[in-house]
Structure 1
Amino acid sequence: MSTENNSRPAAGATPPAGGATESEPIKAIRLRHPWRIVFAVVLVIGFVLFIVDAAGREAYKWDFVAKYVFDRRISEAALNTLQLTVYSMVIAIILGVILAVMRLTPNPVVNSLAWFYLWVFRGTPVYVQLVFWGLLSIIYSSIDIGIPFMEPWFSFETNAALSTFTLAIIGLALNEAAYMAEIVRAGLLSVDKGQDEAATALGMTWFQTMWRVILPQSMRVIIPPTGNEVISMLKTTSLVTAVPYSFDLYTRSRDISAETFTPIPLLIVASIWYLFFTSILMVGQHFLEKRFARGVGAREDRKIDTMSGTLTGAVPLGSGQPTVVRPPGDGPPPTEPGGPR
């Protein structure tokens, strides 16, 4: 009867104390996906055909695109669009935080007022709201400052006090604030209630708790949808013609196309500027998300010894402190922080 020399220990046997037995490395074979490759090739061919076809289309008039993409009127309109976006979003974020806190307060009056605001501004189209703001001078011919039902201290004509640019910012900001309030409220609710209780136990005030504990932790939830809202706001500025404000990027390019009878090239010019601004905002959003997501879901590196197949490295086992797993025979096991109990 022949005896097989096997270096692998028998079932149930204890590995030798001096070290683990040698094992062969695993040879991984990558799975093949032929249909995935075929689909990718079809997509690339279709994209190339579209580019070649678009380059030869007479309707696009690429010479007009090159002529007007850096035109002074277009560049000034692009700057106006960027200003509309920045000013509106700053006001919307500040007002959204206030509304979110009002929605979370136990006071029923304050909570109901915030809910009513969200109901109105989220339930009506932004274009309709901008039309109302354009008609503000008809509804309120003057802006009076003073005690109600008494002679006003100061009075201003609405058309003189508020330009169409200002009305466009107000209309966009008030509409966006309703959406930002829900985004901020979701971020605040994502923080564990125990954080608030711990801050209160440390003697921190409500403002200190919100500013130093709750808001920093909720930013990882708030930042991604806020970045999307900024990009959406950039494109929503094309609706300010309802105010009417006619010096934004879309309206200015439309006016130029009405003079030159080339609507398609001017639409391409406006799209190029929108894509340029959007690309910058997407890069900024990426780094902000990376900044505020530090430490979330992080895991310590875990390694497998190629000789023994034993798990090594820092592995969290739920005790609050990382536990170091060492292969057999690699010295005495580490002691728990703080010494033995």
Structure 2
Amino acid sequence: MSLTSDPPAGATAAREAGPRDPDDLAALKVVPVRHPWRWLAIAATAVVLAQFAHGLITNPAWEWEVFARFFTARTILKAVWITVQLTFYGTVLGFALGIVLAFMRLSASPFLRAVSFAYIWAFRSIPLIVQLLFWFNLAYLYKRLQFGIPFGPGFFSFDTMGLVGAMSAAVLGLALHQAAYAAEIVRGGVLSVDAGQREAASALGIPKLRQLRRIVLPQAMRAILPTAANEVISLFKGTSIVSVMAIGELFYQVQVVYGRTGQVVPLLMVATAWYVLLTTVLSVLQHYLERHFAKGATR
């Protein structure tokens, strides 16, 4: 006994009809898919953007003539340069220390792993403003630094009063804070590389340092770069927090100017425009770096 079922009527009709004539296919009317809600959303968004742009242009409260006068003022340009310096030194020193901490976390030594973990835990737990103020007041905690035999007699010492100034404390605080985040970014990138490649390189007798330089890091950079660039941009904008130490970076200088002139909104727009401009430059650099390290991995 067998069970059978009749084929669908549409399938039978299509089988009996055979292949369609090309002329019949050409005569078919093609109707594009319509997306009325998409076009409605586009129109609503365009109207909102147009209204916003119109308000920026026509509202006299923005005081664009004041913005134009201060955008390239000498004091503002000097403040922008200080902001760039803080970002550069904080990034270079932070990622240099972060790489060391990352490989300590990946080390086979439990002691090195524990030290690295403790550093990352501490500096990610303490707010950046507290760290900056701590380094700024280092001379209060340690009035003299002495060099010599550990836990023994010292050979020479010096006062710490003039050792760490405001700028040095800012760079030190930003770099040490950045290192904790950089370490996790680098560690995540290294772990993203297939362990089989390192095992194959070891089997071929390739030295560890060359494995790291030629095999691990070029692949890890594809995972490291997007997050690292995001962290650098956050650091660039976060430099405004050093204004609590009276360092003449961009935001502090803008506060000084509008405190003197009372023109708050246009001066805040000056700071905003510079932050947007320099963030755009960093984003362009990120794009080209990512494209460089993506060679051979993407079309």
TM range (shorter): 0.7 to 0.9
Q: Which amino acid aligns with 2:108?
A: P
> Which of 93, 96, 100 is the matching residue for 1:94?
96
Alpha-carbon distance change, 198 to 253 in structure 1, aligned in 2, over 3 angstroms: same
1:181 aligns with 2:183: yes
Instruction: Give the drift of 1:60.
Output: 2.1
Superposed CA deviations along residues 230-289 of structure 1, whole A, max 9, x for unmatched, are 1111001000123x1421100011111111111221111111111110000001111111
1:29 offset after TM fit, Å?
5.7
Q: CA RMSD in A?
A: 2.4
Q: d(CA) in 2 for partners of 1:68 and 1:52?
A: 23
Shift of 1:44: 1.3
1:83 maps to a residue whose letter is Q
Q: Which stretch of structure 1 is more off in the superposition, 99-108 or 123-132?
A: 123-132
Out of 237, 240, 245, the position equivalent to 2:239 is: 237
Alignment-derived partner of residue 7 in structure 2: none
User: Does residue 193 of structure 2 align to residue 191 of structure 1?
Assistant: yes
Equivalent residue of 1:191, what SS?
A: coil
Deviation at 1:31, TM superposition (A): 2.4
Matching of residue 204 in structure 1 with residue 209 in structure 2: no
Structure 1 equivalent of residue 285 of structure 2: 284
- How far, CA to CA, are the matches of 1:272 and 1:196 in structure 2? 46
SS of the residue corresponding to residue 90 of structure 1 reads helix
**Partner in structure 1 of residue 269 of structure 2:** 268
After superposition, give the CA deviation of every residue in 1:14-68 in whole Å (9 maximum; x if it has no partner): xxxxxxxxxx799976422121111111111111111222333343222211111
Secondary structure at 1:161 match in 2? coil
Q: What's the TM-score once normalised by structure 1's chain length?
A: 0.77
TM-score of the superposed pair, with normalisation by structure 2:
0.87
SS in structure 1 of the partner of residue 62 of structure 2: coil
Q: Matched residue pairs, number? A: 282
Structure 2 counterpart of 1:292, one-letter code: F
Structure 1 window deviating more from structure 2 (250-259 vs 155-164): it is 155-164
Supply the distance in 2 between the matched residues of 1:91 and 1:28 (Cα, whole angstroms): 62
Q: CA deviation at 1:6?
A: 6.0
More divergent stretch after superposition (283-292 vs 159-168): 159-168
Partner of 1:18: none
- For residues 28 and 154 of structure 1, the distance between their equivalents in structure 2, rounded to whole angstroms, comes to 89
Which residue does 1:157 correspond to in 2?
Answer: 159
2:167/2:247 contact within 8 Å kept: no
Identity of aligned residues (%): 40
- Counterparts of 2:225 and 2:30 in 1: how far apart (Å)? 39
CA distance in 2, matches of 1:232, 1:160: 30
Corresponding residue for residue 293 of structure 1: 294
Tell me by how many angstroms 1:203 deviates: 1.2
Q: AA paired with 2:206?
A: M
Whichever structure has more helix as a proportion of its residues is 2
For the Cα contact (< 8 Å) 1:168–1:245, is it kept in 2? no
Unaligned residue ranges in structure 1 (runs of 5+): 9-23, 299-341
Q: CA deviation at 1:128?
A: 1.4
In structure 1, distance between residues paired with 2:216 and 2:31: 47
Q: Give the unaligned 5+ runs of structure 2.
A: 1-15
C-alpha distance 162-5 of structure 1, shift in aligned 2 (>3 A): closer
Partner secondary structure for residue 146 of structure 2:
strand
Partner Cα separation in structure 1 for residue 259 and residue 192 of structure 2: 50
- The Cα of 1:135 is off from its aligned counterpart by 1.3
Q: 2: CA distance between counterparts of 1:99 and 1:222?
A: 15
Q: Kindly indicate whether residue 216 of structure 2 is the aligned counterpart of residue 214 of structure 1.
A: yes
Counterpart of 1:17?
none
